[in-house]
Structure 1
Amino acid sequence: MKTTTAQNILLILLAFLGLGALGGGLTFILSPDGTLMGMPVSDQSPFRSFLVPGIILFVVLGMVPVGLVFALLKKPTFDGAELLNFYPDMHWSWTYSLYVAFALISWIQVQMVIIQAVHWLHTFYMFYAVAILFVALLPAVRNLYQRKSATDAV
């Protein structure tokens, strides 16, 4: 399958997010006290260590986006993913790329609330999530994942 420039940008955005989150999540899993990242656990945090946030980061913002890169390229059928596909006229992988962007926005928002501050990286990742949404919603990208007929839907 030939890819378009807009699709390649979406794939790169998801891959960069996923690989970074895999690294960050794994670091927190291996060092739940935050020493590997040089980040102490905040007194305002509902977590006593970074283990649970590390697992969430690793899975939701790491494994899922990396998996989506392959799913967006191959368009596999996956009945489990179709259960949460709110856009039945679109392939589930496209819909989940939107979900990842909203998960990133939520992740950053929760971080800012917990630490009661805004770091420049929060702003960067908020704009990053908007970029994922913007590119995924481009007509050139939507057309690649739109189902042609009702028989294409699972």
Structure 2
Amino acid sequence: MQHTKPYSFYVLIILQFLLGVGAVFGGVFLILDPSGEMLKMPIEMLETSPFNSFFIPGMILLLSLGVYPLIITVALITKWEFNFMKKLALFKDKHWAWNHSLYIGFATIIWITTQIYMIQDVHVIHIVYIGWGLLIQIFTLVPGVQAYFTVNRTTHDQYILSNQEEQALLKR
């Protein structure tokens, strides 16, 4: 039985890729200009945070929401095998990249929630990125995407087949 990529797979790839690209640019700009002026972010935003410049937040942004989602985008597309990342997967019946896609959704929401808490202010962009994180989680959890990333195909196919047979019997 051939498994094609569902439409929702492509939406997930776009969400991950755009998050990664945006965060790489944002992180690099914050590292290059820790005062935040390049991005029109006043340093006063950090008064209630533990940071006195945007350098550390820029590094965290670059790596956790920039490079990481880009790596996961490639892994989702290629189903790249990486034993270390497999060990970090909570759902062993799914490819490790699927697990990490879910983690990125959580990381995005946690990043923005922490940012809101630290700067003690909410902007429209915060709501957008919380929604973005939720969309990543939703599209990662779509049944077709889950089925596509199920590692043990035989068991999954048998389940689908038995489900179809059961439906056929119920129709009789």
- Global fold match (TM > 0.5): yes
Match of 2:52, SS state, is: coil
1:50 paired with 2:69, answer no
Aligned to 1:21: 23
Uncovered stretches (5+) of structure 1, i.e. residues with no partner: none
Which of 87, 104, 107 in structure 1 is aligned with 2:111? 107
Tell me, yes or no, if the aligned pair for 2:5 and 2:145 is still in contact at 8 Å. no
Q: 2:4 and 2:66 mapped to 1: Cα distance?
A: 26
Alignment deviations for residues 72-110 of structure 1 (CA, whole Å, 9 cap, x no partner) = 011111111112110111000000000001000110001
Q: 2:55 and 2:152 mapped to 1: Cα distance?
A: 44
Residue 2 of structure 1 and its aligned partner are, at CA, apart by 5.3
Match of 1:36, SS state, is: helix
| Higher CA-based Rg | 2
Q: 2:40 and 2:49 mapped to 1: Cα distance?
A: 16
Which of 132, 139, 145 in structure 1 is aligned with 2:143? 139
Q: 2:106 and 2:4 mapped to 1: Cα distance?
A: 28
* RMSD over equivalenced CA pairs, Å: 1.5
Residue 149 of structure 1 and its aligned partner are, at CA, apart by 5.9
Which of 26, 36, 59 in structure 1 is aligned with 2:63? 59
Aligned to 2:79: 75
Alignment deviations for residues 19-75 of structure 1 (CA, whole Å, 9 cap, x no partner) = 000000000010011111111222112111111110110011000111111100111
Q: 1:90 and 1:98 mapped to 2: Cα distance?
A: 11
Uncovered stretches (5+) of structure 2, i.e. residues with no partner: 155-172
Match of 1:98, SS state, is: helix
Q: 2:34 and 2:123 mapped to 1: Cα distance?
A: 21
Aligned to 1:129: 133
Aligned to 1:10: 12
Residue 4 of structure 1 and its aligned partner are, at CA, apart by 2.6
TM-score computed with the length of structure 1 as normaliser: 0.93
Q: 2:27 and 2:5 mapped to 1: Cα distance?
A: 30
From the two aligned structures, give the one with the greater helix fraction.
Answer: 2
- Aligned residues: percent identity? 37
